[in-house]
Structure 1
């Protein structure tokens, strides 16, 4: 039985210059109708965590969430998965600073930007604002990362910075941390206070 991870890997090989054959086969086997394009694995972790909390089985709904390995890859992935390629409906998240780049790339792939939902800075920023800094610090402590967090705060570059940007920076200072906390922060959201871009994305699927 095909699984979304196999499809993601096949698309990654295709995007790197490989054959489209395996991705095409898996898309048919999975019954895919929609591809959710995300910048990286931390966004994937957050989207899948929230979908799970809402009782959604995206794979069973014909939806595959695809991390692109960076926003600059959106044109390539949109061309492979959208109208010029597999013909899937495209949606996803993008950051405000990259909106114009997405507009150009998606226009070239004949895919509309209105299907993409815009984060003010990035998804981690949206999650921290939704939870509040005190709640995020509590999650860090509960995960056993309090000592690392306190060490980080003693760095000269962090002196006198507001707590919100400190937290954003901390999440990106260790390999794998953004992915782990992408899931943890999404799982900790109040159902009534989900960041608007994330909420709108799930509602559109």
Structure 2
């Protein structure tokens, strides 16, 4: 979290994996968020967005806000943005104008779609986890599901795996393939 006079803006994210991915993406783009006065703040879940927006936004430290959230959480995000009186947040376009961008399922889904399943499997192989992933795919509860679904679920099966792979998947991305929501949330405070 940024403190001091350099802090001017924050990007609110649900958790540490989102923070790791955005910070890795900024580095990959040649940006220094700290020097720009932008912090990426994990909230410990979307249900904390109201508290964080209150403390950090116009009614608190007066930092400019932006955020990344899962599409399934849109009603909750919309309600809290309107409650904070940050502006109209009825539509996705209005939320985006305020700096809040939706990942279609979640961050991992966005990254897996951007890379493709085969590229994600190569990242797993590079981390020595491809055999573990294959055993996971063979479990009865996983049979009949797509490789994409397996990869999303596998990312969350062990403590800190989502955090580690948030950075690793971003590192494997070509800059022209960055998911829209990640790209837009990072560029929002540049406007």
Report Cα offsets for 1:66-119 as digits up to 9, x if no partner: 000001110110011011111111001111111111011122223343310111
Q: What do you get for the CA RMSD once the two structures are aligned?
A: 1.1
Mapping of residues 186-205 of structure 1, within 5 Å: 186-205=170-189
Counterparts of 1:198 and 1:146, CA distance in 2? 26
Match of residue 20 from structure 1: none
- Secondary structure of 2:36's counterpart equals coil
Q: Of 41, 46, 53, which aligns to 2:16? A: 41
Match of residue 162 from structure 1: 146
Is 1:60 the counterpart of 2:35 in the alignment? yes
Counterparts of 2:77 and 2:171, CA distance in 1? 28
Match of residue 102 from structure 1: 77
Counterparts of 1:30 and 1:156, CA distance in 2? 54
Residue segments in structure 1 that go unaligned for 5+ positions in a row: 8-25
Counterparts of 1:176 and 1:122, CA distance in 2? 16
Q: Of 147, 159, 173, which aligns to 1:175? A: 159
The size of the alignment, in residue pairs, is 180
Counterparts of 2:60 and 2:5, CA distance in 1? 16
TM-score of the aligned structures, taking structure 2 as reference length: 0.91
The structure, 1 or 2, with the larger RCO (C-alpha pairs under 8 Å, 6+ apart) is 2
Match of residue 90 from structure 1: 65
Counterparts of 2:75 and 2:82, CA distance in 1? 11
Q: Of 101, 110, 113, which aligns to 1:129? A: 113
TM-score of the aligned structures, taking structure 1 as reference length: 0.85
- Secondary structure of 1:161's counterpart equals coil
Match of residue 10 from structure 1: none
Residue segments in structure 2 that go unaligned for 5+ positions in a row: 88-94
- Secondary structure of 2:177's counterpart equals coil
Counterparts of 2:10 and 2:86, CA distance in 1? 12
